[in-house]
Amino acid sequence: MATGLQTPPAVNPDDPLSAKQIVTEYARVLNRDLERGIFPVAADSLPFAKPTIKTAIETSLLTLVSTGQLTEELRDFLETAYVSLADYVPADLVQLMREYARAGDDLAADPRLAREKTTGAAWQTVAGGSRLAGEIARNIASEADLLKTGFQQLLVDGAVQRQQTGESSTRGAAS
Protein backbone atom coordinates (compact mmCIF):
# COMPACT_ATOMS: atom_id res chain seq x y z
CA MET A 1 0.00 0.00 0.00
CA ALA A 2 1.27 3.49 -0.83
CA THR A 3 2.23 5.48 2.27
CA GLY A 4 0.07 8.45 1.35
CA LEU A 5 -3.08 6.34 1.03
CA GLN A 6 -3.25 4.89 4.52
CA THR A 7 -6.64 4.89 6.18
CA PRO A 8 -6.75 7.14 9.26
CA PRO A 9 -7.34 5.27 12.51
CA ALA A 10 -10.98 4.98 13.53
CA VAL A 11 -12.09 7.33 16.27
CA ASN A 12 -14.41 6.42 19.09
CA PRO A 13 -16.01 9.46 20.74
CA ASP A 14 -16.93 7.32 23.77
CA ASP A 15 -13.26 6.58 24.48
CA PRO A 16 -11.64 9.38 26.54
CA LEU A 17 -8.35 9.38 24.58
CA SER A 18 -10.08 9.39 21.22
CA ALA A 19 -12.57 11.99 22.48
CA LYS A 20 -9.69 14.27 23.44
CA GLN A 21 -8.30 13.99 19.90
CA ILE A 22 -11.70 14.77 18.37
CA VAL A 23 -12.24 17.77 20.66
CA THR A 24 -8.73 19.07 19.93
CA GLU A 25 -9.27 18.92 16.17
CA TYR A 26 -12.69 20.55 16.52
CA ALA A 27 -11.17 23.28 18.72
CA ARG A 28 -8.75 24.20 15.94
CA VAL A 29 -11.61 24.57 13.47
CA LEU A 30 -13.79 26.46 15.96
CA ASN A 31 -10.97 28.88 16.84
CA ARG A 32 -10.36 29.53 13.15
CA ASP A 33 -14.06 30.21 12.60
CA LEU A 34 -14.32 32.42 15.69
CA GLU A 35 -11.38 34.48 14.41
CA ARG A 36 -13.13 34.89 11.06
CA GLY A 37 -16.33 35.87 12.84
CA ILE A 38 -18.60 34.66 10.05
CA PHE A 39 -21.44 32.44 11.25
CA PRO A 40 -23.20 30.19 10.50
CA VAL A 41 -20.57 27.88 9.02
CA ALA A 42 -21.01 24.83 6.80
CA ALA A 43 -21.11 21.64 8.88
CA ASP A 44 -18.99 19.91 6.26
CA SER A 45 -16.05 22.09 7.37
CA LEU A 46 -15.97 20.22 10.69
CA PRO A 47 -13.24 17.58 11.16
CA PHE A 48 -15.89 15.04 12.25
CA ALA A 49 -19.68 14.78 12.09
CA LYS A 50 -21.55 16.95 14.60
CA PRO A 51 -22.89 13.95 16.57
CA THR A 52 -19.36 12.56 16.88
CA ILE A 53 -18.02 15.88 18.17
CA LYS A 54 -20.97 16.26 20.54
CA THR A 55 -20.38 12.80 22.01
CA ALA A 56 -16.62 13.47 22.28
CA ILE A 57 -17.25 16.69 24.22
CA GLU A 58 -19.67 14.84 26.51
CA THR A 59 -17.11 12.07 27.08
CA SER A 60 -14.35 14.61 27.78
CA LEU A 61 -16.53 16.58 30.17
CA LEU A 62 -17.64 13.52 32.14
CA THR A 63 -14.08 12.19 32.26
CA LEU A 64 -12.76 15.50 33.58
CA VAL A 65 -15.56 15.72 36.17
CA SER A 66 -15.09 12.13 37.33
CA THR A 67 -11.34 12.59 37.78
CA GLY A 68 -11.69 15.98 39.47
CA GLN A 69 -9.71 17.68 36.69
CA LEU A 70 -12.43 20.01 35.37
CA THR A 71 -11.27 23.59 35.86
CA GLU A 72 -13.48 26.60 35.33
CA GLU A 73 -11.47 27.49 32.22
CA LEU A 74 -11.94 24.00 30.75
CA ARG A 75 -15.63 24.04 31.63
CA ASP A 76 -16.11 27.39 29.87
CA PHE A 77 -14.18 26.18 26.83
CA LEU A 78 -16.12 22.91 26.58
CA GLU A 79 -19.44 24.72 27.02
CA THR A 80 -18.57 27.21 24.27
CA ALA A 81 -17.45 24.39 21.99
CA TYR A 82 -20.59 22.36 22.73
CA VAL A 83 -23.03 25.23 22.20
CA SER A 84 -21.13 26.42 19.10
CA LEU A 85 -22.04 23.19 17.33
CA ALA A 86 -25.39 24.87 16.64
CA ASP A 87 -23.62 27.33 14.32
CA TYR A 88 -22.57 24.51 11.98
CA VAL A 89 -25.40 23.92 9.52
CA PRO A 90 -25.81 22.42 6.04
CA ALA A 91 -23.88 24.29 3.33
CA ASP A 92 -27.02 25.29 1.42
CA LEU A 93 -28.37 27.10 4.50
CA VAL A 94 -25.07 28.90 4.96
CA GLN A 95 -25.20 30.05 1.34
CA LEU A 96 -28.77 31.27 1.74
CA MET A 97 -27.91 33.20 4.92
CA ARG A 98 -24.86 34.81 3.28
CA GLU A 99 -26.85 35.82 0.21
CA TYR A 100 -29.52 37.29 2.48
CA ALA A 101 -26.91 39.23 4.52
CA ARG A 102 -25.18 40.45 1.37
CA ALA A 103 -28.51 41.66 -0.05
CA GLY A 104 -29.23 43.47 3.21
CA ASP A 105 -25.83 45.16 3.06
CA ASP A 106 -26.46 46.12 -0.57
CA LEU A 107 -29.81 47.65 0.35
CA ALA A 108 -28.29 49.60 3.22
CA ALA A 109 -25.54 50.94 0.95
CA ASP A 110 -27.96 51.88 -1.85
CA PRO A 111 -28.34 55.69 -1.78
CA ARG A 112 -31.68 55.66 -3.61
CA LEU A 113 -34.98 56.35 -1.91
CA ALA A 114 -36.71 53.34 -0.39
CA ARG A 115 -39.45 53.23 -3.02
CA GLU A 116 -36.79 53.12 -5.75
CA LYS A 117 -34.99 50.20 -4.09
CA THR A 118 -38.00 47.89 -4.29
CA THR A 119 -37.36 47.04 -7.93
CA GLY A 120 -33.78 45.84 -7.39
CA ALA A 121 -32.41 42.33 -6.92
CA ALA A 122 -31.29 43.06 -3.36
CA TRP A 123 -34.83 44.02 -2.37
CA GLN A 124 -36.22 40.87 -3.97
CA THR A 125 -33.70 38.71 -2.13
CA VAL A 126 -34.46 40.34 1.22
CA ALA A 127 -38.21 40.28 0.70
CA GLY A 128 -38.26 36.71 -0.53
CA GLY A 129 -35.75 35.32 1.94
CA SER A 130 -36.58 37.12 5.16
CA ARG A 131 -38.99 34.49 6.46
CA LEU A 132 -36.62 31.63 5.64
CA ALA A 133 -33.58 33.48 7.04
CA GLY A 134 -35.52 34.16 10.22
CA GLU A 135 -36.51 30.51 10.48
CA ILE A 136 -32.89 29.41 10.04
CA ALA A 137 -31.73 31.87 12.70
CA ARG A 138 -34.46 30.71 15.10
CA ASN A 139 -33.49 27.07 14.55
CA ILE A 140 -29.82 27.83 15.24
CA ALA A 141 -30.76 29.74 18.40
CA SER A 142 -33.09 26.94 19.51
CA GLU A 143 -30.41 24.29 18.97
CA ALA A 144 -27.90 26.45 20.88
CA ASP A 145 -30.35 26.73 23.80
CA LEU A 146 -30.88 22.96 23.81
CA LEU A 147 -27.15 22.34 23.74
CA LYS A 148 -26.56 24.80 26.59
CA THR A 149 -29.25 23.12 28.69
CA GLY A 150 -27.83 19.70 27.82
CA PHE A 151 -24.34 20.81 28.82
CA GLN A 152 -25.61 22.10 32.17
CA GLN A 153 -27.36 18.76 32.77
CA LEU A 154 -24.16 16.86 31.93
CA LEU A 155 -22.35 18.88 34.58
CA VAL A 156 -25.00 17.98 37.14
CA ASP A 157 -24.99 14.31 36.12
CA GLY A 158 -21.21 14.18 36.25
CA ALA A 159 -21.11 15.77 39.70
CA VAL A 160 -23.74 13.36 41.01
CA GLN A 161 -21.89 10.40 39.52
CA ARG A 162 -18.61 11.57 41.05
CA GLN A 163 -20.26 12.03 44.44
CA GLN A 164 -21.81 8.56 44.29
CA THR A 165 -18.48 7.02 43.27
CA GLY A 166 -16.75 8.83 46.13
CA GLU A 167 -19.39 7.67 48.62
CA SER A 168 -19.11 4.03 47.56
CA SER A 169 -15.30 4.24 47.80
CA THR A 170 -15.59 5.72 51.29
CA ARG A 171 -18.04 2.99 52.37
CA GLY A 172 -15.77 0.31 50.95
CA ALA A 173 -12.80 1.70 52.84
CA ALA A 174 -14.79 1.89 56.10
CA SER A 175 -15.83 -1.78 55.93
Q: Where are the domains of the chain?
A: 14-165
Residues 84-110 have pLDDT tens digits of 999 999 999 999 888 877 777 777 887
Residues 14-33 have pLDDT tens digits of 999 999 999 999 999 999 99
pLDDT band at 9 (very low <50, low <70, confident <90, very high): low
Buried/exposed 5-31: b ≥16 CB within 10 Å, e otherwise: eeeeeebbbeebebbebbbebbbebbe
This prediction has a pTM of 0.80
